[in-house]
Amino acid sequence: MAGASIWVDADACPNVIKEILFRAAERTGVCVTLVANQPLQIPRIPSLRAVQVSSGFDVADGEIVKRVAAGDLVITADIPLAAEVIAKGGEALNPRGERYSPDTIRGVLAMRDFMDTMRSSGNVGGGPPPLTQANRNAFAGHLDTWLARRPSA
């Protein structure tokens, strides 16, 4: 896991979560790469990068899957992307602070598919609730745990 990196599915990542990641990159020197299909403004931090991909369905996800290595951490709310990352030996963390693992990803995928079916039938509406301070704290806690396990590059 030496030199493990953080990849961010940046198109839908909340700004407050990006700020936490920017501080981690500055504090620890971990390589953080934001992948998006739109231009991103990022602070000048040596270990921070932005990659712009062409627009299109799952183009950013595909780029992350192509580049991720075992031991890397991917920040995403996209459950199928998280499943692909885990299959490649990476780790996945939702911006709300939910850590996906090999033990839980199948159940999370099944729930996602069930909720998609409910939404398409008109039984469930609306988007996710706003990000709470508890979500931010959970995210920061999981990030700190990952950073502490990561050997110095």
pLDDT over 50 (residue 115): yes
Helices (H), the chain: 15-28, 59-67, 79-87, 105-120, 133-149
Residue 86 within a domain: yes
For residue 117, the enclosing domain spans 6-122+133-145
Would you say 1 and 153 are in contact if contact means Cβ atoms under 8 Å apart? no
Count of domains in the chain?
1
The pLDDT score that the predictor gives to residue 1 is 43
Residues 102 and 85: beta-carbon distance below 8 Å? no
Which CATH number fits the domain that encloses residue 50?
3.40.50
Residue 10 counted as domain residue: yes
The rounded mean pLDDT for the chain is 87
The count of other CB atoms within 10 Å of the CB of residue 58 is: 13
Does the pLDDT value for residue 103 go beyond 90? Answer: no
Residue 153 lies in a domain: no
The Cα–Cα gap between 147 and 141 comes to: 10
- Residues 117, 73: Cα–Cα separation, whole Å: 29
Residue pLDDT, tens place only, 117-134: 656 666 655 666 788 999
Q: What is the pTM of this model?
A: 0.84
12 in any annotated domain: yes
What is the pLDDT confidence band of residue 51, given thresholds at 50, 70 and 90? very high
Bridge-partner residues for 6, per DSSP? 32, 73
**Band (14; pLDDT cuts 50, 70, 90):** very high
Q: Given this model, what pLDDT does residue 125 score? A: 58
| Residue type, position 96, single letter | R
Residue 25 belongs to some domain of the structure: yes
Q: Are 101 and 94 in contact (CB under 8 A)?
A: no
Q: Which pLDDT score, from 0 to 100, does residue 126 have?
A: 61
